[in-house]
Chains A and B, each alone.
Chain A
Amino acid sequence: MQLVLEKRAERSNTIALISPLIAIGLTIVTMSILFVILGKNPIAALGVYFIDPLTDSYSLQEIAVKASPLVMIAIGLSLCYLANAWNIGAEGQFLVGAVAGSWLAVKTNGTDAGVWVLPAMLLLGAVAGALYALIPAICRVKFGASEILTSLMLVYVADLFLDYLVRGPWRDPKGFNFPTTAEFDPVATVPVLIDGGRLHLGAVIALVVVAAGAVLLGRTIKGFEIRVVGAAPRAARFGGFNSNQLILLTFAISGALAGLAGIIEVAGPVGHLQPGISPGYGFTAIIVAFLGRLNPVGILIAGLFLALTFIGGEQAQIAMKIPLDVTKVFQGILLFYVLACDSLILYRFKLIFASAKVA
């Protein structure tokens, strides 16, 4: 038996639309099997994962809170991936943005600084994220060094730098020796939208980013250039598009968005700088970008879905003692199925039963 791929004459748009749904379906089947292996009732586990978080206002707000950074980072990553530039260090850009913005919060802590503090923090976070992302981009453009490896190495560097700051110079003297900065002042905190709730301004910013992404990709020449450079590099060269410049641009934008997400996370839901501010947002955003088909609206939906898995995972851990790592397994399997189903858009699968050896 042999699996053979046959190129379709043209892309199948029907399958392009339903393939993420097939992928989610297959993932749920696989997860059910995993739950059985773990000795849990799969129906109950799936209910805790996907239904329960949708039934109360607290969880719904929490989904939006988790989705905001995922969506912001993924929009930026999708620009890179469309241009065939592989930024996989968004996690590091997220952390550096968080650190840069926190610097101002720490410096102004306890002083009577005005309302300018938060906007300045957001700006600092975005600029720092962009600059940090430009390091691998410049190494790629100037020296030809693989941006995949360099951007990833810088994640570890950023992580260690943050660790140093909160254990060393920025440690809260009143923090009982915990590695954390002091709680940010109210002027250095992202305001919540609903009194007493968790939903904060970051969700609005994420929606603005989605809209901006849609406009950039759908309505501007730059967006067109990004797509062409990624999809048809030769055509792009004949068209006079500068692919190096686009690599720098898409890395800078994605770094800025990741950095902005980082400082919003610290100044919003977390409230202070500490290690472990990200449950792997930068990496999960890669899944969000692909699940959303590198399309802004798709990314918004995909971001909400993956946020649901984070919340569901936490609830499943409490309610059913399902290990938290199941969420990561789930996300990894989902990405596999998404990619595999995408293959259906370009190819027809055929199983050939012949004497040929199994390949």
Chain B
Amino acid sequence: MELVEAIILAVLAASTPLLLAATGELVTERAGVLNLGVEGMMIVGAACGFGGAWLSGSIIVGALCGIIAGTLLSLIFALMTLGLAVNQVATGLALTILGIGLSGLIGARFVGEKITPAPHLHIPGLTDIPLVGRILFGEDAFIYLSLALVVAVWFFLYRTRAGLILRAAGDNHVSAHALGYPVLRIRMYAVMFGGACAGLAGAYLPLAYTPFFIPGMTAGRGWIALALVVFASWRPGRLVIGAYLFGAVTILQLHAQGWGVGVPSQFMSALPYLATVIVLVLISRARSGGSTAPAALGTVFVPDR
């Protein structure tokens, strides 16, 4: 039973950065902006998050540094795609290339350093309940935060007026603009929220997942997060399921190596990426009747004055 418990804890931890980044991207895309720079914002978030925590000795300061770094990068993206009406796909790629370089530059001095990772919650009594105690009440704070964030985003999108306006900007920017809503400003806030989430997701890796920083430690998680948004059909609830499924695949390949499964480790490591391709194909095929993507996703909007 302890193994099952350990695996579930590991799955939750592996899923959390995916869930955080994908939640941010979901809001961004719901506003009609496709930001392919998630990987870049995450990897800079990882470097700044670790740097902040190592210099200050505080996990919270580290997390804030990651959030700020991700938000700043997303502002560059917003300036380019919203301010200058540049193609979103190309700008997102540029953001990732820049992010990988920046992360290496910022993180170089932290390689080889260690920090105490984010502590796991311990509520006397509750956490000690056999089987479910540690799983429900013994996680690190980020895991609860990520779930709270998804609930908050769901509530915002479907139960508030502002959320309705944001979705309108993503579905038909011309009409939203005609009704007097500031489409570009709404999109800028959505992009910034996406950047903050991606930065936090990146920071989670060195702050809680592993207690050290290595260059390139996001290893494509930002891209998987983007795929998750498609998998979830742009719905927060399905995002949680998707993120935990992918976390499970990641942990499965780690444990399969430990159990001595007779498959080369590289093939197991390729599993999450292959799973992403297969899931994308299955989801896209199932939806061939009509897409659920925000109608204005990825399109440039230049308001007429």
Chain A interface (Cβ within 8 Å of chain B)? Answer: 3-5, 7, 86, 88, 135-136, 139, 142-146, 148-150, 152-154, 156-157, 160-161, 163-164, 167-168, 283, 286-287, 290, 323-333, 335-336, 339-340, 342-343, 346-347, 349, 357, 359
Contact = CB atoms under 8 A, between A and B. Distances in A.
Interface string B178-204: 000010110010000000000000000
B270 A156 contact: yes
A153 B281 CA distance: 13
A145 B264 contact: no
A325 B108 contact: yes
Nearest to A138: B281
A146 B97 contact: no
Given A143-B281, A323-B108, A340-B84, A160 B182 contact: no
Interface of B: 36, 76, 80, 83-87, 89-91, 93-95, 97-105, 108, 182, 184-185, 188, 215, 219-220, 223-224, 226-227, 230, 264, 266-267, 269-270, 273-274, 276-277, 280-281, 283-285, 287-288, 291, 302, 305
Contact of B94 (A330, A339, A346, A349): A339
A283 B39 CA distance: 14
A5 B226 contact: no
21 contacts: A3-B83, A88-B93, A135-B277, A139-B281, A145-B277, A145-B280, A149-B230, A150-B277, A150-B280, A153-B276, A156-B220, A160-B269, A164-B267, A287-B97, A327-B101, A328-B100, A329-B98, A331-B97, A331-B101, A336-B76, A339-B86
Given A149-B280, A328-B104, A340 B227 contact: no
Given A146-B280, A156-B220, A323-B105, A328 B97 contact: yes
Contact of A335 (B93, B215, B220): B93
Contacts of B270: 156-157, 160-161
B86 A332 contact: no
Contacts of A333: 98
A76 B105 CA distance: 31
Contacts of B108: 323, 325
B302 A336 contact: no
A146 B101 contact: no
A154 B270 CA distance: 9
Nearest to A152: B223
Contacts of B103: 325
Contacts of A136: 277
B165 to A, nearest CB: 16
A162 to B, nearest CB: 9
A249 to B, nearest CB: 20
A339 B280 contact: no
A355 to B, nearest CB: 14
